[in-house]
A and B are shown apart, each in its own frame.
Chain A
Amino acid sequence: MQSTTLILLLTFMAVAAFYFGRRRSLATVGGPGHRMDLHSLPGYYGYYVAIWCALPALLLLSAWLFMEPRLVVALVVQGLPESYASLASGELDLLVNNIQNLASGDVVSIEVDPELQAAAAMFNDYIGKSRQMLAGLALGVAVLGGALAWRRIQPDLRARNRVEKVIRLLLIAASSIAIFTTIGIVLSVLFEAILFFRKVPVSEFLFGLTWSPQTAIRADQVGSSGSFGAVPLFTGTLLITAIAMFVAVPVGLMTAIYLAEYSSSRVRGIAKPLLEVLAGIPTVVYGFFAALTVAPWIRQFGESVGLAVASESALAAGVVMGIMIIPLVSSLSDDAINAVPAAMRDGALGLGSTRSETMKKVILPAALPGIVGGILLAVSRAIGETMIVVMAAGLSANLTANPFEAVTTVTVQIVTLLVGDQEFDSAKTLAAFALGLMLFVVTLCLNVIGLSVVRKYREQYE
């Protein structure tokens, strides 16, 4: 039986269990008229039985599906002729892979001999048996669990508490997914970065002034030895982030002030959704807007005033990134301004302040922590942004503070290092992980600062 069919069947059984449980709970007290004698609402008894019916069976199902391939493979390998027993583990893996492909009718990379055919048949046979057993067992567990729970229903059974306990566990499981994913990502990047730092000293990576990751892949190849100083990348990132913030913070903040305090509700009703459209444009579209429209325009302008401007400049990328971030800054600032209690506004106006005095002297100071938090979140967004920079800022790792020159950023280098063919034991490829780790640490710090500022702000009024 297919596992999807099995899951459908279990769902159906759970629904049935709900109704049986609910009906029995009412029957134990002698009909719906006496439902106040039950500890919990009748529905909870239904859920209680449904959970006991479905949950153990589903747990069994997932455990089984997790173990099945390992067990079956072990059995198949055991059944292989003597000649294969001496294979090395890597070759054995390849062979098992081929057997599995053969069994499912996929392309096989080696010649198919009768022994292999036999192994594949055996594989299919084991899988089939395993599935039958699983179906029988799971349905058995479901019926048994449901029946036991159904029998336990009594008026004083605390069904609601038990159901809520299961729901709480579900919620905990859901929220831990994000945490474990984060930990997994950090660890995977961390281990690769450690490999990189075995080849390149940390001090060179952190303080080196040249970035040129090209290394010879083969011994006879002509190529530079590679140089992994990340300083030009981080200055490039900082330069572009600074330009972006220079655009986004004033514009976003003033937008927020206008929308929150001065605009009529009609203007606000039109402007807010439009700003959100700006936030919804994919970054790659911003990227070619930067590369094809803004960058040439900046170069022409630079030439007309006698400045040498590279066709891919930090300025173009930074300005467009700033435009992209405006909605983020403005909506977070808008939230912060709106979170200032109306009583503050009234208090200031009641003392005879103008709107602008109210804004500058009372509301902005009160909203400042929230605004700062929002800006820090925007900065970490800018640091992590890739697409616009790839398309508009260029790839040359110049160590410069001149916004008219081409620069490159950490994210762009990670992309170029990992695009195309690569070997995972060369410093060039591993450098991407080291850069990723650094980037992660920087944005994590910014986020922590930003969120703690925002939290402190929340405590102030609630």
Chain B
Amino acid sequence: MTMPVMTETIPDNSTAPEAPAPKADNPDSAGRMGLDEFLEQATDLTDETVGTVTCDHPFMVADDVNVYYGDNHAIKHVSLEIGKKEVIALIGPSGCGKSTFLRCLNRMNDTIETARVTGTITLDGKDIYRKEQDPVALRARVGMVFQKPNPFPKSIYDNVAYGPRIHGIAADRAELDEIVHTSLERAGLLKEVKDRMDEPGTSLSGGQQQRLCIARTIAVNPEVILMDEPCSALDPIATARIEDLMDELCEDYAIVIVTHSMQQAARVSKRVAYFHLGLLVEVDSTDRIFTNPQHKLTEDYITGRIG
């Protein structure tokens, strides 16, 4: 009995004057388009990537990489070079495949049953998807920092010591102490935690936890660090600290960062790759991407021209 009555109000609400209903053909917002429209704008998308996918000292090279989750073709024909001592930012709307691509670089996609990867990705000239490659050994060389800080439910010390312990990096306790201290120091956390190494890692604040996770990652001495939106759960102050940290770390590591913040990409990265619907649309130096993008989609995205 109530159903017919309920439906009567629905037209009332949807035609209410305060409800914003931007239209693409609205003269006031020329050039703006609906989000759906933007995302569906696959007509002028090709497999060709605009800009320069190559770099001076390539360390990781992805060539024609495709990822399928079951029947879903999540990444399409992506080729990209990642250089030594550089920060490269992957940007693009949600669901565009940038995190998926990131997870290909250390074979984290192996943990998903339905995921299938084709194409080649080489690390220092060797295919990381070759048969003899142990994904476990690969992940020690290609470390990863996640979106949400995920310290283990262990003490701060044990969190950082975890990696060196499982890989047998330290010969004795003194050496382990040394690694833990240096890693915490490089992550800019040592001062804050040096008197509370036995407290659980979860007792730290969000920003400290994320720096703990970075310390944990660099403790195994990787060559590449992958960061999947490392600051999206942090406040601006913690974010600034992590960005400073990335500046220092790129002296020694290649860093690939996925971010939703264009400002962050502009601040920390040397090169930017723009993904859209599983395609790598444009790659170029950060300057060029933000001042003179070649592809219309890149321009629309970075100028926020979506409704």
Contacts and interface: CB of A to CB of B under 8 A. Distances in A.
A446 B217 CA distance: 41
B116 to A, nearest CB: 15
A368 to B, nearest CB: 9
A32 B113 contact: no
Contacts of B141: 352
Interface in A324-365: 341, 343-354, 357, 361-362, 365
Nearest to A347: B150
A366 B144 CA distance: 21
A365 to B, nearest CB: 7
A127 interface: no
A122 interface: no
Interface in A46-78: none
B8 interface: yes
Contacts of B167: 352
A460 B146 contact: no
Contacts of B146: 343, 346-347, 350
Contacts of B213: 347
Given A264-B113, A350-B139, A350-B144, A36 B163 contact: no
Nearest to B217: A351
* Interface residues on chain A, size class: 20 to 34
Most buried by B among A22, A43, A265, A348: A348
Contacts, number: 82
B152 A348 contact: yes
B108 A349 contact: yes
Contacts of A33: 8
A460 B202 contact: yes
Contacts of A264: 113
A interface majority secondary structure: helix
Most buried by B among A346, A350, A460: A350
B140 A346 contact: no
Interface string A17-54: 00000100000000011011000011100000000000
A231 to B, nearest CB: 41
Contact of A343 (B111, B138, B148): B148
A351 B153 contact: no
Interface of B: 1-2, 5, 8-9, 106, 108, 111, 113, 136-141, 143-146, 148, 150-154, 162-163, 166-167, 202, 213, 216-217, 220
3 nearest A-B residue pairs (beta carbon): A352-B140, A350-B144, A343-B150
Interface of A: 22, 32-33, 35-36, 41-43, 264-265, 341, 343-354, 357, 361-362, 365-366, 460
Given A361-B166, A365-B152, 6 more contacts: A347-B216, A348-B152, A352-B141, A352-B143, A362-B152, A362-B162
